Amino acid sequence: MNERIRELLEQAGVNYAAMPKDTVYEKFAELIVRECMRMCEVTEMSFVTHHCDVEASGAITVKQFIAEHFGVE
């Protein structure tokens, strides 16, 4: 996870500085990010099935941007 997750937690009212490492909040945020990435994969497969290669490539690009933005592999 990166600084963006911490910022979002604080926007949600969580005092990140006072939290112990590896909290349920961080894990929850990571799971949401991973689910968004999975939906990009599902979208890619739908485009591939319909022979929309440019759109499929775009879905994978979005997945990579999400991964980089939130520091998830």
Task: Please write the tens of the pLDDT for every residue from 33-61.
Answer: 999 999 999 999 999 999 999 999 999 99
Contacts of 54 (CB under 8 A, 6+ apart): none
Q: What span, in angstroms and rounded, lies between the C-alpha atoms of 26 and 43?
A: 26
Domain housing 26: 3-70
Task: Please write the tens of the pLDDT for every residue from 3-36.
Answer: 888 898 899 998 888 888 778 888 899 999 999 9
Domain tally, the chain: 1
C-alpha distance from residue 27 to each of 21, 22, 38, 47, 59 (Å): 11, 7, 16, 30, 24
Q: What span, in angstroms and rounded, lies between the C-alpha atoms of 10 and 64?
A: 25
Whole-model pTM? 0.84
